[in-house]
Structure 1
Amino acid sequence: MTSLSLPRPRQYRRTPVEIDVTVNGVLNMIDGTISDLSEGGARIDGASMPVRSRCEIHYGGQVVYAVVMWAEFDRMGVRFPYELTSGPLYNALERARGPAAAPVQVFRTSRPSGFGRRGLR
């Protein structure tokens, strides 16, 4: 009997960004652009390293450690072993997400009295 596993939803919300970074591998440093960022990982365009390799992402004086999860010729996806919670890269993520709009609540006391949207009596 074969057991089928259902795909798990992503733990973090991905946000499209455009952040120029430097990726430091074991043997080389590559300039790239983060195009998709979350607290748990990123997609970096313009840089590629072998899958399962470890690297450092340099941005704004901060170093973020990452593990390459998938790679193509000109881009790669990395996972952060330590969740982003502070620093310049986290601040850029928060700026890209923008202010969260609070849901508007309409209470009975603030509604116009009468019938319909025009308040006809």
Structure 2
Amino acid sequence: MELRWKDIDFSKKIAVFHDTKNGDDRTIPLSTPAFAVLHSLPRDMAGHVFPLSESAVEQSWRRARKRAIIKKLYFHDLRHGATSRLIEKGLNPMQVAAITGHKTWQMLKLYTHLRAEDLVKMLG
């Protein structure tokens, strides 16, 4: 999945990801921090937002993990964490699924790992 500058609509603060893992295109909202980062990057409107090869990303991930002394953390684990944080922020499951691309409630549940201490805060 490659993000190109032409797939980001800065006026609407959205990005379109084409041909995602499940084969569908998906339009996602950009958070304020994500929007700020993208807006600050140099742009070649015909090119990729992140002009890195898959192997370069994998190598950087391994290096960062090694520096942090973390042995068992996979890049895909970030999706689990992000899904859980969206629920904790108060988004409902339909909103989260629209962002993450999960098509079924069952798959969304597999990616959601809520912490009891965060649920206590939500209960008041």
TM-score range, shorter chain: under 0.3
Greater C-alpha radius of gyration: 1
| Between structures 1 and 2, the one with greater helix share | 2
**Superposition TM-score, scaled by structure 1 size:** 0.24
